[in-house]
Amino acid sequence: MVVVLLAGVGTWALVHGDSSREPPGTGMEGPVAATETVAATGSEATSPPGRTAAAARAQTAAGAPVVWVQAGHADPREPGYRDQTGAGSGPFGSEVAFTSRLANDVAARLAARGVDARVLSGRVDPIGAPGAAFVSLHHDAPGGRAAVAGATAGTGENYYRGEGRGDPSPTPYPDSAPHRRATTVSPSVQRASRGLAAAIAARYADVFTPANGGDGTFAGVVTSAENPRLSSYYGFFRTGADARVIVEAGAAGVDDALLRRTELIGGAIAAGVLDDLAARGLAVMP
């Protein structure tokens, strides 16, 4: 895998290639460092040093909001969820192939507007790092639907059998793999997450149309009562971002014509993020 820096603004892209040629991270002493890198192939990647939480906080203080963009299910994956490889269907043959393409597109668009956009794999590193927003990108399996959900205060992450098998449970099974430490979803994070989810949903509703290939259902923003699996997404409990959302862009099969258009989907999601950042008074370039 080759990791490419986009426009010198701190955004790392996911592209295919030789992982032995990854550039070194510069850590805290340089202006640019890499977060966790992921490959659309699903193979284990060697990551350069991640930017520390302190560096992320300093970058935000300098005026560039940090937005973490997660390519759902991309390797390396989160401990306790490693068996959840995503749907093995869709326009690119797998959910990971879709989420990797989409994460690159969203991050590049945000970077072009002065946002410090950082692409994550399924494993959220650095754990607990602050930022303006965390956006996890997915598409659903056949029979599902498109939706957006935000983090909800007073909830916790799901547990599964082993590394992610079986039905979700709010408490561990006897054979659940160990999880890393959890961050907290506070009432203020819940409010910010709802605002970000609404902004993304408003933009995505404009492109999720039959004319664009969206032949299934877009549910808009769903609550924890409607979809506890989404609102209990583990990523919400690994990030320290002020607003945390997950996007299911559509369902494999019925929405493949739209899912193939990652540039259209990426434009809508990035626009929603920018709308929300502006509404929160965080500086973005015109």
- Strands 146-150, 240-251: pairing is antiparallel
Q: DSSP alpha helices (H): ranges in 125-255?
A: 187-207, 228-231
Question: Where are the chain's structural domains?
Answer: 2-279
The whole-angstrom separation of Cα 121 and Cα 99 is 10
Has this prediction a pTM greater than 0.85?
Answer: no
Structure confidence at residue 176 (pLDDT)? 97
DSSP string covering 105-148: HHHHHHHHTT-EEEEE-SS-SSTT-EEEEEEEEEEEPTT--EEE
Q: How confident is the model at residue 284 (pLDDT cuts 50, 70, 90)?
A: confident
> Which whole-number Å values give the CA distances from 283 to 63, 112, 162, 212, 277, in the listed order?
7, 13, 43, 32, 7
Q: What is the CATH number of domain 2-279?
A: 3.40.630.40
pLDDT, tens digit, 9 for 90 and up, residues 163-216: 999 999 999 999 999 999 999 999 999 999 999 999 999 999 999 999 999 999
**Where does the pLDDT of residue 240 fall: very low under 50, low under 70, confident under 90, or very high at 90 and above?**
very high
Q: In what order do the strands lie in the sheet with 240-251?
A: 116-120, 66-71, 130-140, 240-251, 146-150, 218-221
Specify the pLDDT at position 62.
Answer: 60
Residue 74, classified by CB atoms within 10 Å of its CB into exposed (0-12), middle (13-18) or buried (19+), is buried
3 pLDDT above the threshold of 90: no
> At 228, is the pLDDT very low, low, confident or very high (cuts 50, 70, 90)?
confident
- pLDDT tens for residues 5-52? 333 333 434 432 222 222 222 222 222 233 333 333 333 332 323 444
pLDDT in the model for residue 68: 98
Asked, as a colleague might, if the bond just before 126 is cis with ω within 30 of 0, I would say yes
Q: What is the largest CA-CA distance in the chain?
A: 52
Over range 53-61, report the average pLDDT.
49
Residue 19 tokens read as: 């992982």
Contact (Cβ atoms closer than 8 angstroms) between residue 78 and residue 177? no
